[in-house]
């Protein structure tokens, strides 16, 4: 998994320096795909197949590929934060997770520009560049900084930011940089790696139906503020 992300990141770094030359197509409102997405995804799938040839795949561009082993599925987002990437904003990431049966057991989020690797494995903890990470220890919402994306349907009275990269948002919650994350209408490839990162870093998330690939809602934070955050976002 790490080897696949590192190999794919070389393409991303090179293409980020030549954005104006990329072929770009539009999939929907504010939803773009570049030839970088396709190249990176191809490299990751090829590398993962070398290690686990029978595992299945769910990926943003490739779609669903069911192989002999349907109980183990790689979930891939080759570039989470494509719009940032296209505008020359150095805030995007490769996201890879492994779902075993109906549980995320391993997750990796790699920011190739900052050379920041977030990794987690079930019951083995969460790590940032090989250093153990934990969620924030803040106990009062007024002291917290949250992150979100998309439209917010209510006045939250929370201090929050929007970064344009769900994978890094969740990685930053796991590392204690943000105190919590909430967002609607997510895809499974946006959040799969982040789920295991936050759990292994000691955080909490709402119940997520991993059989769904789209229209997923996330509310994540430390255990200390989770009940307060849920109350604040009761109509979210």
Q: Are residues 24 and 110 in the same domain?
A: yes
Answer with the one of 77, 102, 132 that is the final residue of a domain. Answer: 132
What is residue 29's predicted lDDT score, i.e. its pLDDT? Answer: 45
Q: Domain containing 160 — which CATH number?
A: 3.40.190.80
Q: Are residues 8 and 121 in the same domain?
A: yes
Residue 96 CA from chain centroid, whole number: 8
Closest C-alpha to 126, from 135, 116, 113: 135
Answer with the one of 112, 132, 152 that is the final residue of a domain. Answer: 132
Mean pLDDT, the chain cut into blocks of 10 residues (236 residues total): 93 84 59 76 95 94 88 96 89 97 97 97 97 97 92 76 96 98 94 98 95 93 94 80
- Domain of residue 35, residue span: 2-132
Helix (H) / strand (E) element for 2: namely helix 2-16
Contact 188, 99 (CB under 8 A): no
How many domains is the chain built from?
2
Active-site residues, by number, are 60, 77, 79-80, 82, 190
Q: Are residues 71 and 127 in the same domain?
A: yes
Helix (H) / strand (E) element for 162: namely strand 160-162
Contact 93, 6 (CB under 8 A): no
What is residue 87's predicted lDDT score, i.e. its pLDDT? Answer: 86
Q: Are residues 118 and 208 in the same domain?
A: no
Cα(52)–Cα(67) distance, rounded to whole angstroms? 11
Tokens of 231: 């109350």
Contact 205, 219 (CB under 8 A): yes
Helix (H) / strand (E) element for 141: namely none
Q: Are residues 181 and 200 in the same domain?
A: yes
Contact 123, 131 (CB under 8 A): no
Answer with the one of 88, 107, 132 that is the final residue of a domain. Answer: 132
CA atoms in the 13 A half-sphere facing the CB of 104? 28
């Amino acid at each position: 998994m790490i080897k696949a992300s590192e190999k794919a990141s070389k393409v991303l770094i090179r293409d980020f320096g030549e954005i104006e030359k990329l072929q770009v197509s539009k999939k929907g409102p504010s939803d773009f795909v570049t030839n970088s997405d396709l190249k990176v995804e191809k490299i990751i799938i090829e590398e993962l197949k070398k290690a686990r040839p029978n595992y299945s795949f769910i990926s943003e561009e490739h779609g669903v590929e069911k192989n002999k082993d349907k109980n183990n599925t790689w979930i891939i987002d080759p570039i989470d934060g494509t719009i940032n990437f296209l505008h020359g904003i150095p805030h995007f990431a490769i996201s890879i997770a492994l779902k075993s049966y109906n549980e995320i057991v391993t997750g990796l989020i790699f920011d190739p520009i900052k050379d920041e690797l977030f990794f987690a494995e079930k019951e083995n903890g969460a790590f940032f560049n090989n250093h153990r990470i934990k969620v924030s220890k803040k106990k009062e919402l007024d002291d917290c900084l949250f992150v979100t994306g998309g439209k917010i349907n209510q006045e939250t009275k929370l201090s929050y930011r929007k970064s344009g990269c769900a994978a890094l948002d969740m990685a930053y919650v796991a590392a204690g940089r943000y105190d919590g994350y909430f967002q609607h209408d997510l895809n499974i490839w946006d959040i799969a790696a982040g789920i295991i990162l936050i759990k292994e870093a000691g955080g909490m998330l709402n119940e997520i139906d991993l059989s769904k690939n789209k229209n997923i809602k996330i509310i994540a934070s430390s255990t200390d503020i989770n009940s307060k955050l849920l109350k604040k976002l009761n109509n979210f």
